[in-house]
Chain A
Amino acid sequence: ETGVTQTPRHLVMGMTNKKSLKCEQHLGHNAMYWYKQSAKKPLELMFVYSLEERVENNSVPSRFSPECPNSSHLFLHLHTLQPEDSALYLCASSQELGRNNEQFFGPGTRLTVL
């Protein structure tokens, strides 16, 4: 595997379910990110991790819970979601934090909440 991978690629869940999204980067990067991409809205940054420490949390509801057990893996735990949480969730990584650092994106998980 190369680059940034995400699993599952598609997920359908009910509002009472608990599920997790997984992201893995094979680039040796130190920073990882979760974004939400909704129809008709700009890409929204949700969480930022650097060296497994959370450095940014953009007022995301507590029903989304990130976890970064090591610099290669990032999870997004989901519970009691709402239909408006249906979106494409994108993971990204970069070598370091910093204004010049390119972010590499995974293919995303398409989430549908019924």
Chain B
Amino acid sequence: GNSVTQMEGPVTLSEEAFLTINCTYTATGYPSLFWYVQYPGEGLQLLLKATKADDKGSNKGFEATYRKETTSFHLEKGSVQVSDSAVYFCAGNNAGNMLTFGGGTRLMVKP
């Protein structure tokens, strides 16, 4: 079946540090891949997505590249801010109906 694995948190960084949150997927075929973000007390918001190999999704300074050879979709940001503190979820959609989520990674950014 499909599965998404992402690094466990929490990840604690100082402001302006470089961020990487790893995500790998296992699926039959080639799923669309997504990163969602959940701020405290809110639902999930789509951060970025990629629908085919070598696609790069980007938004608000975050980027992730769909790597077919390593089945990965790692999230990166060059300089994090305190306002980026949230839980980040990697997800894949292969079968149309089923969006499979990773376990979430909590990011804490300190001033």
Contacts and interface: CB of A to CB of B under 8 A. Distances in A.
Contact of B43 (A45, A56, A101, A106): A106
Nearest to A43: B101
Contact of B49 (A4, A6, A33, A102): A102
B82 interface: no
- Binding site of A, secondary structure by majority: helix, strand, loop or mixed? loop
A103 B46 contact: yes
Contacts of B32: 99-100
Contacts of B46: 102-104
Nearest to B103: A42
- Binding site of B, secondary structure by majority: helix, strand, loop or mixed? loop
B70 interface: no
B99 interface: yes
Contact of B96 (A41, A42, A99, A105): A99
B40 to A, nearest CB: 11
Given A105-B44, A107-B43, A97 B97 contact: yes
Contacts of A43: 44, 89, 101, 104
A84 B33 CA distance: 30
A42 B101 contact: yes
Interface string B24-49: 00000001101010000111111001
Contacts of A92: 43-44
B51 interface: yes
A6 B41 CA distance: 13
Interface string B91-109: 0011111110111100000
Contact of B31 (A4, A99, A101): A99
Contacts of B36: 105
Given A43-B104, A99-B95, A102-B49, 10 more contacts: A4-B43, A41-B103, A48-B97, A92-B43, A92-B44, A97-B97, A99-B32, A99-B94, A105-B45, A107-B43
Interface of A: 4, 6, 33, 41-43, 45, 48, 55-56, 90, 92, 97-108
Interface of B: 31-32, 34, 36, 41-46, 49, 51, 89, 93-99, 101-104
